[in-house]
């Protein structure tokens, strides 16, 4: 057992006092301005700043806000969200700065999650690019477009780690790894806000909001909004880093999650909102609830509206989204001595500071230049960026007999319920998109293939046999439209066109509304009716390419055994159709790698690469051993592991070389591999570094991602990839929640996915 000597104690959870960051801001000019303003404000006006109603232009929740203009005039509104259009926003801002007593500008928010009108792949897809520059650029483009349309605040990045593909919102996050999630969180915050002092210096930089703090992705059984309960050790080692990383990048705001943490809803959880977020991590922005997060605490069972509103404020919540619990009860609580003026002031100050930092006091119309909207939204330049990033997000899951890339010749039969819908392409949470604009896959393939190939289309099947399921999924969303022909008629039509084709492309999977909020599923396979179609298509004996649309990992065991080629395209955004064509026809070599494990079956869930070893691990390469940790009916292996993804070329990895087999606390060593592109086409490879702490004072995962490098390697060429390793990278939260490294032996693993790695060992002295 490794000595328990704690070499470096980096401010742990239990030693808060040393870590409390000063709450005094570093901008005396801002402080003076806000002090002067707050002196003029009544208690009601201060409470008004904490109120965030929804305009209702876009539906993202059940409750509605009413009489908004009236409330703005009375100083009862701090900001507004879900309002679309710069002219409208300008009008509302005018009411605030001309018709309210203190003329305080409003902040305008929206769910700009993966693009605005130019839509990028769903976040889960974006994460599979492992390309931080591209991800930052996607946020940058989103900020330019949103701000051109009056928006100065986005409810993104969503960084909830999730290991449960049943949860519909896995589509909105960055997968299962906290390190990767943290890098992406930082890239997105930089893209939206800008960096450090330069943040918000231009009218095309907007405030980000990291969400959903915290642990929303760990709801029991993958059911949305469900209870979360986990040890603090798991919390800090496996789930918290992405939120903290966003704070490190200077994120301006954070959103509380719907779920409870340790038996207290996050929205009323003082430990979470104040002790960890502010005191431990030094967050200085403001915290907004999620949609009706305050009033939902009545159903959580912790009090009536007055009680839960007071609890939220006291916990450290600054802004109330939609509940109007603050607006309608805080004054009463104040009069009754249940909340203090200091608590109301603190929240009000943080909202005013955000507006000040955004430059809204200097110019309330900073984001209301109506000419920008015409010139800067959905531009050709933005669309080209989106198309390129989309092609990087696709993951080639299988490619037997070099079925792909397709040739731009002959006849291609394009079949499936997802083949001819443009509005399905952007995916969930693309609330600002113009649904008439995205091309369908049919049109995308035609445009990329040109005239030399003939592309024929048949629907082949509806999305599901179960109409009620489809209706539930599309209740507030986009329907694909059902065809009332029988299943057999639809299929026969497809088989008829397939008969004369050289290759069949089957566009199957989920429609965009099958993932996202309130879209949990207990079955995560391709719906039966589509599978029946796929089986018949395979019987033709023609090569079949499955183009898989999905917002979550799916169970594809049968497909993997039987279909020659599978390209997972997630929901690739407004330019997805052509991006899919780029990859299918080989103009772009796929380079995406999974950031979430694909299980063999749903019973294996939760299944993730960075698991613990247990006291009875299964022997290497074994399916089953009696009295070991395994299943009778399925091996422990995933179908596709974390980090996995194929290319049209292949990459060979040398053994791992270390510059030294020992390091000390202040030292550093370099681990390197030579990666060779031994195929015939150029390609990019995501080289991944994993480390295992072989002996710890607490049990440690079998491997953890600690670095990665996406490199372009020409056919036939090799590159040496170096990773620096130091003690900082070996830290974890120990039993006492101190963030430490421990001396001992470590295994370094490098490879093109989390399963197929080369390894070496070193010792930390
Ligand atoms: C979602 C948030 C979103 C908010 C505002 C909620 O239902 O959970 O992610 O930002 O609505 O639209």
Which pLDDT tens digit goes with each residue over 421-466? 999 999 999 999 999 999 999 999 999 999 999 999 999 999 999 9
* CATH class of the 40-373 domain in this structure: alpha beta
Pick the CATH number of 394-593 from 3.40.50.1700, 3.40.50.720, 3.30.390.10, 2.40.50.140: 3.40.50.1700
* Average pLDDT for 163-169: 98
* Average pLDDT for 486-503: 98
The answer to whether 262 and 269 have CB atoms below 8 angstroms apart is yes
Q: Positive or negative, the Cα torsion across 147, 152, 153, 159? A: positive
Q: How many other CB atoms sit within 10 Å of the CB of residue 215?
A: 26
Helix (H) or strand (E) holding 148: helix 132-148
578 Cβ closer than 6 Å to some ligand 1 atom: no
Kindly report the backbone phi and psi dihedral angles of residue 154, in degrees, each rounded to the nearest multiple of 5, phi listed first: -115, 145
| pLDDT at 11 (0 to 100) | 36
Which is catalytic among the residues 164, 275, 290, 320? 290
DSSP per-residue letters across 333-350 = HHHTTSS-HHHHHHHHHH
Separation between Cα atoms, residue 160 and residue 124, nearest integer Å: 11
Q: Which residues pair with 762 in a beta bridge?
A: 746
| pLDDT at 17 (0 to 100) | 35
The answer to whether 553 and 165 have CB atoms below 8 angstroms apart is yes
- Compute the distance from residue 157 Cα to the ligand 1 centre, in Å: 12
- Architecture of the domain delimited by 651-764: Sandwich (2.60)
| Ligand 1 nearest-atom number relative to CA 61 | 7
517 Cβ closer than 6 Å to some ligand 1 atom: yes
Separation between Cα atoms, residue 697 and residue 607, nearest integer Å: 25
Q: Going by DSSP bridges, is the β-strand pair 107-110/79-81 parallel, antiparallel, or unpaired?
A: parallel
- Compute the distance from residue 156 Cα to the ligand 1 centre, in Å: 10
- Compute the distance from residue 213 Cα to the ligand 1 centre, in Å: 12
Alpha-carbon dihedral 133, 137, 139, 141, rounded to 10 degrees: 180
Q: Say what the pTM is.
A: 0.96
155 Cβ closer than 6 Å to some ligand 1 atom: yes
Active site residue 290: yes
290 Cβ closer than 6 Å to some ligand 1 atom: yes
Question: Residue 50 pLDDT more than 60?
Answer: yes
| Ligand 1 nearest-atom number relative to CA 216 | 8
The string of pLDDT tens digits covering residues 379-417 is: 999 999 999 999 999 999 999 999 999 999 999 999 999
Which regions of 404-479 does DSSP assign to beta strands (E)? 410-415, 453-458
| pLDDT at 5 (0 to 100) | 35
| pLDDT at 345 (0 to 100) | 98
Q: Where are the domains of the chain?
A: 40-373, 394-593, 600-637, 651-764
**Nearest C-alpha to atom 6 of ligand 1 is from which residue?**
291
Separation between Cα atoms, residue 293 and residue 298, nearest integer Å: 10
Residue 317 structure tokens: 């919540």
Separation between Cα atoms, residue 154 and residue 175, nearest integer Å: 21
- Compute the distance from residue 414 Cα to the ligand 1 centre, in Å: 36
């Amino acid at each position: 057992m490794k000595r328990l000597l704690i070499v470096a104690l980096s401010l742990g959870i239990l030693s808060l006092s040393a870590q409390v960051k000063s709450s005094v801001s570093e901008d005396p000019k801002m402080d003076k301005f806000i002090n002067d303003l707050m002196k003029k404000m009544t208690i009601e006006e201060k409470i008004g700043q904490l109120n965030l109603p929804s305009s209702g232009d876009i539906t993202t929740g059940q409750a509605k806000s009413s009489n908004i203009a009236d409330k703005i005039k009375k100083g009862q509104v701090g900001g507004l969200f879900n309002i679309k259009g710069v002219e409208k926003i300008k009008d509302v801002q005018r009411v605030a700065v001309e018709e309210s007593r203190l003329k305080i500008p409003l902040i305008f928010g929206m769910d700009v999650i993966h693009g605005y009108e130019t839509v990028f792949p769903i976040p889960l897809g974006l994460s599979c690019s492992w390309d931080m520059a591209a991800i930052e650029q996607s946020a940058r483009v989103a900020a330019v477009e949103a701000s051109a349309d009056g928006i100065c605040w986005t409810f993104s990045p969503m960084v909830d780690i999730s290991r449960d593909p049943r949860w519909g919102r896995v589509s909105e996050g960055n997968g299962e790894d906290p390190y990767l999630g943290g890098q992406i969180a930082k890239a997105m915050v930089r893209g939206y806000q800008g960096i450090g002092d330069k943040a918000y210096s231009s009218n095309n930089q907007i405030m980000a909001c990291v969400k959903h703090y915290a642990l929303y992705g760990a709801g029991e059984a993958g059911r949305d909004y469900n209870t979360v309960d986990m040890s603090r050790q798991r919390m800090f080692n496996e789930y918290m880093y992405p939120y903290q990383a966003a704070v490190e990048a200077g994120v301006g705001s954070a959103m509380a999650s719907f779920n409870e943490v340790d038996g207290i809803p996050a929205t009323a959880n003082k430990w979470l909102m104040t002790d960890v977020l502010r005191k431990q991590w030094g967050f200085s922005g403001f915290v907004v609830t999620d949609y009706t997060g305050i009033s939902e605490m009545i159903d959580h069972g912790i009090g009536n509206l007055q009680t839960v509103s007071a609890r939220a404020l006291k916990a450290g919540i600054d802004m109330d989204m939609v509940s109007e619990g603050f607006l309608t009860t805080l004054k009463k609580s104040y009069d009754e001595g249940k909340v203090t003026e200091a608590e109301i002031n603190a929240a009000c100050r943080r909202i005013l500071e955000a507006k000040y930092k955004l430059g809204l006091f200097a110019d309330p119309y900073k984001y209301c230049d109506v000419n920008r909207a015409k010139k800067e939204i959905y531009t050709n330049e933005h669309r080209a960026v989106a198309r390129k990033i989309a092609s990087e997000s696709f993951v080639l899951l299988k490619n037997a007999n070099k079925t792909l890339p397709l040739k731009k010749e002959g006849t291609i039969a394009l079949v499936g319920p997802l083949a001819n819908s443009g509005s399905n392409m952007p995916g969930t949470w693309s609330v600002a998109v113009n649904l008439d604009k995205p091309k369908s896959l049919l049109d995308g393939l035609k445009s990329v293939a040109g005239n030399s190939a003939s592309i024929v289309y048949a629907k082949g099947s509806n999305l599901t046999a179960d109409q009620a399921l489809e209706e539930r999924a599309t209740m507030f969303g986009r329907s694909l439209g059902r065809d009332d022909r029988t299943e057999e008629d639809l299929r026969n039509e497809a088989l008829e066109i397939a008969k004369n084709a050289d290759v069949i492309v089957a566009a199957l999977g989920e429609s965009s509304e099958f993932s996202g909020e309130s879209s949990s599923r207990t079955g995560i396979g391709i719906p039966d009716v589509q599978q029946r179609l796929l089986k018949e298509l395979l019987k033709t004996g023609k090569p079949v390419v499955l183009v898989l649309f999905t917002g979550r990992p799916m169970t594809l065991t049968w497909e993997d055994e039987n279909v020659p080629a599978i390209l997972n395209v997630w929901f690739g955004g407004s330019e997805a159709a052509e991006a899919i064509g780029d990859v299918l026809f080989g103009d772009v070599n796929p380079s995406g790698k999974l950031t979430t494990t694909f299980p063999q079956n749903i019973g294996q869930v939760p299944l993730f690469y960075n698991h613990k070893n247990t006291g009875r691990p299964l022997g290497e390469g074994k399916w089953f051993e009696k009295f070991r940790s395994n299943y009778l009916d399925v091996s422990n292996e995933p179908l596709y592991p974390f980090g996995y993804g194929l290319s049209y070329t292949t990459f060979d990895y040398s053994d791992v070389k270390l510059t030294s087999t020992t390091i000390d606390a202040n030292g550093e060593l370099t681990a390197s591999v030579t990666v060779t592109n031994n195929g015939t086409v150029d390609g990019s490879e995501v080289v991944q570094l994993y480390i295992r702490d072989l002996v710890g004072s607490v049990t440690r995962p079998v491997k953890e991602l600690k670095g990665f490098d996406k490199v372009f390697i020409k056919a036939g060429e090799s590159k040496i990839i170096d990773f620096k390793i130091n003690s900082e990278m070996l830290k974890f939260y120990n039993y006492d929640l101190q963030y430490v490294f421990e001396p001992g032996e470590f295994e370094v693993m490098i490879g093109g996915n989390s399963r197929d790695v080369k390894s070496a060992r070193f010792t930390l002295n």
